[in-house]
Structure 1
């Protein structure tokens, strides 16, 4: 396996790179963490850009009256953003696959005690009902177990994880409502526009909060292993 720091080949039976002395597993874990962090940043950028673009393209709805409302024009203005959110969902799915690989490694490297078995780092995202509450608990446990935290610091970590998960769930729900909302009247068109902007803002915030958790866990575990 090549060293993520210097590129030299590390034999499988050796824990450190023979050239630079870096811990192979920790350096590889840091590379995965950096990749997840950058992909999350791209997700946040795309979601935020979509919300700003939606605000600008739907600006005429603010000055439109019930007498001048044109349903076909509203459909043309709002319909493309349903496809934009679908693309954002596909991008988030690809990011999620790499995130699961990172979380699996992070769970294995975090010292105990663990409230849940490591396998739930993967299964917890796909089991119905369980996937509504277990993933943030796992991320929180990995975060606080990776370092030495006081009570206030644990509460802050819990607040960040809760904000990430809340924004993610609300953003996904709002995006679904935006895709299924009608524009038969001016009030419905304006409401649909607000739903789209809210969904974009929530998804951007979710990606930003997730970036914080990935950065902190990766930093703590890499530092502890060096």
Structure 2
């Protein structure tokens, strides 16, 4: 493959570029990490913007009455946000595929021991029920095995990873509830808006926390390879 620095071809059997001496695997891994980090930032930005925009609808609904409430107008205002959440879901799947490629490399480069085999880096995200609890365990193992952590630091890492996955799951569930909610009554409309705001907030927080684990694991492993 070509070197990221000088463009010279690096043979597959060597780890350094023969022309400039750059570490091929390290730079390739960093490039994947940067790509995942940027995509996660874009996802967080879209979700945060959607949540802020939805917040503007709360005040008019709070000031409305059952007589003045117009379900057709409110439905027309909320319809685009369903499309936004759909786009966010598609972007999350694209980001997730790249994230799994990054995590596969990070798993292989971490020292171990690991509680699960490397194949679960893929299966853990796609197998139903298993994907509710296994991904954060995989990320936690890779993170703590990429550096030297004390017990308190391991607990902090575990808390951050758990919060990330919990926010991601809540964001997905709330977005589905928002898409299936109705605006037939004023109470239904208020509930729909609050569901949309909560879904956007959890999605943005999940993306931000995922950015933290991608950044830290990539930094630790690049430093180890240096």
In 2, the alpha carbon distance for the partners of 1:62 and 1:4 equals 56
Match of 2:118, SS state, is coil
TM-score by length of 2: 0.97
**TM alignment of 1:105-184, pairs within 5 A:** 105-184=105-184
Matched residue, 1:21: 21
In 2, the alpha carbon distance for the partners of 1:23 and 1:159 equals 33
CA contact (8 A) 2:57 2:193 kept: no
CA contact (8 A) 1:174 1:195 kept: yes
Matched residue, 1:195: 195
Q: Does 1:78 align with 2:73?
A: no
Matched residue, 1:217: 217
In 2, the alpha carbon distance for the partners of 1:25 and 1:38 equals 20
Runs of 4+, deviation exceeding 6 Å: none
- Residue 176 of structure 1: how far off its partner (Å): 0.5
CA contact (8 A) 2:51 2:196 kept: yes
In 2, the alpha carbon distance for the partners of 1:176 and 1:6 equals 48
- Residue 58 of structure 1: how far off its partner (Å): 5.1
Count of matched residue positions in the alignment of Structure 1 and Structure 2: 226
In 2, the alpha carbon distance for the partners of 1:53 and 1:73 equals 16
CA contact (8 A) 2:112 2:141 kept: no
- Residue 57 of structure 1: how far off its partner (Å): 4.4
- Residue 22 of structure 1: how far off its partner (Å): 1.9
CA contact (8 A) 1:48 1:204 kept: yes
CA RMSD in angstroms comes to 1.0
Matched residue, 1:10: 10
CA contact (8 A) 1:47 1:200 kept: yes
In 1, the alpha carbon distance for the partners of 2:186 and 2:56 equals 17
TM-score by length of 1: 0.97
CA contact (8 A) 1:4 1:31 kept: no
CA contact (8 A) 1:136 1:162 kept: yes
- Residue 170 of structure 1: how far off its partner (Å): 0.5
- Residue 10 of structure 1: how far off its partner (Å): 1.1
In 1, the alpha carbon distance for the partners of 2:62 and 2:4 equals 53
CA contact (8 A) 2:175 2:195 kept: yes
**TM alignment of 1:36-115, pairs within 5 A:** 36-57=36-57, 59-115=59-115
In 2, the alpha carbon distance for the partners of 1:76 and 1:154 equals 48
Match of 2:85, SS state, is helix
- Residue 12 of structure 1: how far off its partner (Å): 1.6
Unaligned runs of 5+ in 1: none
Unaligned runs of 5+ in 2: none
Match of 2:125, SS state, is coil
